Amino acid sequence: MATHATVITYGTFDLFHEGHRRLLERARELGDRLIVGVTTENYDDSRGKLNIHQSLMERIENVRGSGLVDEIIIEEYEGQKVTDIQKYGADIFAIGSDWLGKFDFLKDYCEVVYLERTTGVSSTELRARSAGILGLGVVGTGRIANRFVPESKFVSGVDIPGVYGVTPASVEAFAARHELSFSTTDYDEFLSRVDAVYIASPHQFHADQVRRALTAGKHVLAEKPLSLTAAEVRELTALASDNGLVLLEAIKTAYSPGFIRLVAIARSGLIGNIRNVEATFTKLSSGELRELDAASDGGSVTELASYPLLAVAKLLGTAPLEVSAQSLFADGYDVDVFTKINLRFEHALASVRVGLGVKSEGDLVIGGTSGYIYVPSPWWKTEYFEVRYENPADNKKYFYRFDGDGLRYEIAEFSTMIAGGDTETYKLTAAESVFIADMIERSRPA
């Protein structure tokens, strides 16, 4: 132990568990005096931390009860760490290694130490010591899965204990990168070690992996599309409902605050009756094999259509009278690189445009009988939209936050549903997931 060194660290410390205790023990070993800053609810909200279960005073008592702390302070605002380090004469700033590099700017004021996470602490141990910790295992090691684990750290009460994949080297590297307790290529073993499952595997594996997880009694958060057929989505949602389990499709937009408010305002009558929805989502593929591979169910519709179809379902419902689609193909690829889907409802029209090889303005326009709503690109990360009228003086602008990659919103909703015993949420219903799968199935080029 260093002599005559003051160490300072910070955290939310919600649902205090063994992982928290071990972090404080390691910080304590760095010096002879430990100061801990506990974040306020307002500061947690400002930095995108969701789902806090306990009050500030309860969390302070959590830390005090550890018997490891010499002084507790309250963290209330961005930048306070700089002031606190100087005010309390801290020699060492310690924080978990999942924040590696983020606090290097504090090296101008003191030594910065990133404490390796204690990977041997399993979710079972955490839950044994603190009720309410959800052990959420990850299926897949690709791009989205690598974003998911860091985002989960912004949702209180969620722990990622391990990962499943088909390639030993990939899952071992993933577990090491994210400091997880275990990795495995045995799906049954994986299911036995978690409370719930996040599925981020290639599209063609979703339905079977969801089915096996539900059969094993596990709650499931599955990346879009939940399945590539409406029949399978109906089967899976019924299986979850019959067993009192949560099955949630991971379309992050559905759970983001800005999009939820957008739908409410559009449906409130502020622009009259909605008569037209035009939603576009395009990106130029980086050449990732899965996205442009027919054998992997790639293509513009399967990759991207879930987002604009979500907007259509929320704004116009799930019962179109007619559906048609036209697609473009590029040389060397046997999947669509651009598709237009046209839908006719009883009193409205909708147009969906998605592309992996054609770039277009990714906006959302909601046309009504009294005005319209314009949401600029990227509308699926809704932060700003404008209600526009015939007279521009009547226009109104709305601003909302969209934190990080947005995955934290779906994780928080999933966790909240499990804790509350709810098997469905208005933010994305089973009927809407069926609709999305049905439209994808009907719009994919043969």
Decide if pLDDT at 120 tops 90. no
Do residue 132 and residue 60 come from a single domain? Answer: no
| Banded pLDDT at 121 (limits 50, 70, 90) | low
Helices 143-152 & 168-177, crossing angle to 10 degrees?
30
Identity at 55, one-letter amino acid code:
S
| Ordered DSSP codes for 5-35 | -EEEEEE--TT--HHHHHHHHHHHTTSSEEE
Residue 193 has pLDDT above 70, yes or no: yes
Do 431 and 361 have their domain in common? yes
| CA 337 centroid distance within chain | 26
Kindly provide the residue ranges of all beta strands, DSSP E only, lying in 304-401, ordered along the sequence.
Answer: 322-329, 336-344, 349-355, 364-368, 372-375, 384-388, 396-399
Residue 261's domain spans which residues?
254-443
- The predicted-structure confidence for 87-110, as pLDDT tens digits, reads as follows 999 999 999 988 889 999 999 999
What is the arithmetic mean of pLDDT over 278-285?
A: 94
Residue type, 402: F
Encoding tokens for residue 185? 């290529």
Asked if 100 contacts 116 with a C-beta cutoff of 8 angstroms, the reply is no
* 355 domain residue, yes or no: yes
| Residue 289 confidence (pLDDT) | 65
Mean pLDDT score of the chain, rounded to an integer? 92
Of all residues in the chain, the percent with pLDDT exceeding 70 is 95
Q: Are 267 and 315 in contact (CB under 8 A)?
A: yes
**Which residues face 250 on adjacent strands?**
223
Q: From the CB of residue 90, how many other CB atoms can be counted at a distance below 10 Å?
A: 24
Percent of the chain at pLDDT exceeding 90: 81
CATH number at residue 17: 3.40.50.620
Residue with tokens 């499709």: 249
Q: What is the pLDDT of residue 330?
A: 81
pLDDT at 313: 98
Strand pairing partners for 386?
A: 374, 397
Q: Are residues 143 and 106 in the same domain?
A: no
Residue 34: which of 10, 65, 61 has the closest Cα?
Answer: 10
Preceding omega of 161 cis (within 30 degrees of 0)? no
**What pLDDT, in 10s, does the model give residues 230-273?**
999 999 999 999 999 999 999 999 999 999 999 999 999 999 99
d(CA 284, CA 380): 16
- Phi/psi at 73 (5° precision): -125, 170
Q: What is the pLDDT of residues 4-56, one digit of tens each?
A: 899 999 999 988 888 889 999 999 999 999 999 999 988 888 788 888 888 89
C-alpha distances in Å from residue 334, one per residue of 23, 287, 291: 51, 14, 11
Q: pLDDT at position 125, please?
A: 54
62 vs 292, residue with greater confidence: 62
The answer to whether residue 1 is domain-embedded is no
Average pLDDT over every residue of 219-225: 97
Res 334 pLDDT > 90: no
* Per-residue pLDDT, 386: 98
Cis preceding-peptide flag for 257 (omega within 30 of 0): no
Please give the backbone phi and psi of residue 4, each rounded to the nearest 5 degrees, phi first: 50, 40
Residue 134 shares a structural domain with residue 49: no
Q: Which ranges of 204-317 does DSSP label H, i.e. alpha helix? A: 206-215, 230-242, 257-267, 300-304, 306-316
Domain count, the chain: 3
CA–CA separation, 199 and 407 (whole Å): 13
Average pLDDT over residues 306-315: 98
Q: Please tell me the predicted confidence (pLDDT) of residue 1.
A: 45
Taking CA atoms, 332 is separated from 64, 293, 406, in Å, by 63, 10, 34
pLDDT band at 130 (very low <50, low <70, confident <90, very high): low
Model confidence at 126, in pLDDT bands (50, 70, 90)?
low
Q: Is the peptide bond before 376 cis (omega within 30 degrees of 0)?
A: no
For residue 129, pLDDT over 70 is answered with: no
Residues 258 and 247 in one domain: no
190 and 97 in a common domain: no
CATH number for the domain spanning 280: value is 3.30.360.10
Quick count: other Cβ atoms within 10 Å of Cβ 370? 13
179, 323: one domain: no
pLDDT tier at 170 (50, 70, 90 boundaries)? very high
Instruction: Please tell me which of 77-86, 114-123, 129-138 the model is most confident about, judged by mean pLDDT.
Output: 77-86
Residue 358 pLDDT grade (very low, low, confident, very high; cuts 50, 70, 90) = very high
pLDDT of 131 reads 56
Residues 151 and 267 in one domain: no
Sequence letter at residue 170: S
Q: What is the spatial distance between Cα 237 and Cα 436, in angstroms, rounded to a whole number?
A: 13
Residue 236 sits in a domain whose CATH number is 3.40.50.720
**Tokens, residue 348:** 């409205």
Distance CA 144, CA 140 (A): 9
